[in-house]
Amino acid sequence: MSWTWEYVFGAEEAARTAPPAFLTEIERKADELVRAAEAQYLHGPTHDGDDPKGDDIVVRGGMFRYQIVVRSERVYVVQITYLGF
């Protein structure tokens, strides 16, 4: 398994109607989160501790909320909010 990110829950549905430039910003930040998590949790599937607390990230146009699940080697984008700024 290798680290990656994906939309889940309502974020997947919201991404279908969000502006492409906004989604590009989310994807860029999600890629950064994946690289950071991969470096910090080298042996993800054997991780026996708690997953780190998720957080919100502000990007151009709005924000998104993510959660890292170490054992799955995934960064999940669980909510996106387009504000148009």
**pLDDT per residue of the chain (85 residues) written in tens, 0 to 9:** 699 999 998 899 999 999 999 999 999 999 999 999 999 988 878 888 888 899 999 999 999 999 999 999 999 999 999 998 7
Comparing CA positions, the residue from 53, 52, 67 lying closest to residue 11 is: 67
Give φ, ψ of 75 to 5 degrees: -110, 120
Secondary structure element (H or E) that encloses residue 53, with its range? none
